[in-house]
Amino acid sequence: MRTGTADLPLHGGRAPRWLFERMTLLAREMALAILSNEGTPGLMQRLADPVWFQAFGCVLGFDWHSSGLTTTACGALKEGLRELSGETGVFVAGGKGKTSRKTPQEIESACWMTGQDAAPLVRASRLSAKVDSAAVQDGFQIYHHTFFFTTDGSWAVVQQGMNEQSGMARRYHWLPPERFDWDPHAAIAGESLQQVLNLVASEGEANRRGAVELARANPLKLVTELTQMRTLSMPRHHDVRLDDLHPDRLARVLLSTYERQPEDYTALLAVPGVGARALRGLALVAELTYGEPASVRDPVSFSFAHGGKDGTPYPVDRATYDATIESLRRAVKEARAGLSEKSAALKRLAGVERSLAPAASA
């Protein structure tokens, strides 16, 4: 899942209602088919695979080269599974823009119904967003965050950032990592950049330890050092820049870290108010104090079944789309009703092409 790249140009607009309604139906039936054959682990694994997710969005009929594929595919899944969460054990929270900020409340609401402890899931949602908005400083501003989770506590994240200057987007995929501060992503798809500060790269462990030690110390020392740095002619080799670091503003944030005494870098990430600038300041002072540089490695590592919204490679074939939905619905219904074994259901799914032929020629 860490191979391959995908360029995602920023596109405006939205899917027309007639298409999104079909996307919702097809996304639901595809998810149910996966759950029937592979269970919730299979669905989470697929969502965390950028190649599968890109193909999924294309099958739904969205433009293969558009940033909107991410937001629309996640939205279709959320809408399609909304009424089936009690039956499937799969919940979808978050979304684009203001909706993304409602993720914690949506997680808590779902967990209230299931009896789950919402705290670990809310923490995972917030930390994954914090890593990609502050710890991986790659020029992409997160504007979309979708959190998929199940009644057994497993989860996956699909979130996306935009770079208005380059007109490109970058999509981040997550499964539960061993550590949030050690190469935590399942994969990332987007444009490869040169100027990246990766504060969760495995090779930056020593710098992170230094940053945590500084965050636990009296903030006066760190603020004083940052103030002095701004008056010096810094060596060219330092990759962490001072251009927009303001020691006086950082002082308030560092006071919070001093009061909380974070035990490790993940705990530091979880401190409210600790954002990109505070982490960058800590990384720079840790580099100069301990001689341990932060990593600048870009973590990015990385269809046309029914046509595309913009007519690329051809307009969406509504009859074929509807036939696909109905064929999948019948196959999943039979498999879940116990009318056939899994092998028979798979054979029926393999026969989708035959069932599409009459509709396509109608």
Residue 218 DSSP SS3: coil
Q: Are 131 and 263 in a shared domain? A: no
Is residue 307 a contact partner of residue 206, using CB atoms and an 8 Å limit? no
**Residue 295 located in a structural domain:** no
Q: Are 70 and 164 in a shared domain? A: yes
More confident residue, 296 or 246: 296
Q: Are 35 and 96 in a shared domain? A: yes
**Residue 20 located in a structural domain:** yes
What does the pLDDT look like over 332-354, one tens digit per residue?
777 766 655 555 555 555 555 45
The tokens of 299 are what? 């973590």
**Residue 306 located in a structural domain:** no
CA dist., res. 115 & res. 151, Å (int): 9
**Residue 104 located in a structural domain:** yes
Whether the per-residue pLDDT at 278 is higher than 60: the answer is: yes
How would residue 9 be classed by pLDDT, with cut points 50, 70 and 90?
Answer: low
Q: Are 15 and 70 in a shared domain? A: yes
What does the pLDDT look like over 127-148, one tens digit per residue?
999 999 999 999 999 999 999 9
Q: Are 165 and 25 in a shared domain? A: yes
Q: Which of 290, 307, 337 is the last residue of a domain?
A: 290
Which of 152-166, 275-289, 293-307: highest mean pLDDT? 152-166
What does the pLDDT look like over 283-337, one tens digit per residue?
888 887 888 889 988 877 444 555 566 665 556 777 777 877 787 777 777 776 6
pLDDT of residue 328: 76
CA dist., res. 222 & res. 251, Å (int): 8
> Can you tell me which residue has the tokens 């251009």?
243
Q: Which residues contact 168 (CB under 8 A, 6 or more apart)?
A: 7, 8, 9, 10, 67, 162, 190, 191
Q: Are 213 and 248 in a shared domain? A: yes
The tokens of 269 are what? 């990430």
Is residue 37 a contact partner of residue 346, using CB atoms and an 8 Å limit? yes
**Residue 212 located in a structural domain:** yes
Q: Are 32 and 149 in a shared domain? A: yes
What does the pLDDT look like over 227-244, one tens digit per residue?
776 555 544 444 445 555
Residues of the domain holding 326: 318-361
**Residue 142 located in a structural domain:** yes
Domain count, the chain: 3
Phi, psi of 86 (to 5 degrees): -65, -30
Q: Which segment of 23-27, 219-223, 266-270 scores lowest on mean pLDDT?
A: 219-223
Q: Are 270 and 237 in a shared domain? A: yes
Q: Which of 151, 169, 193 is the last residue of a domain?
A: 193
**Residue 313 located in a structural domain:** no
Q: Are 106 and 63 in a shared domain? A: yes
Summary mean pLDDT of the chain? 82
Q: Are 128 and 258 in a shared domain? A: no
How would residue 86 be classed by pLDDT, with cut points 50, 70 and 90?
Answer: very high
pLDDT of residue 246: 64
Q: Which of 166, 193, 220 is the last residue of a domain?
A: 193
What does the pLDDT look like over 14-56, one tens digit per residue?
667 888 899 999 999 999 999 998 999 999 999 998 878 888 8
**Residue 299 located in a structural domain:** no
Is residue 328 a contact partner of residue 309, using CB atoms and an 8 Å limit? no
Bridge partners (DSSP) listed for residue 92: 148
Q: Are 19 and 126 in a shared domain? A: yes
Q: Are 120 and 213 in a shared domain? A: no
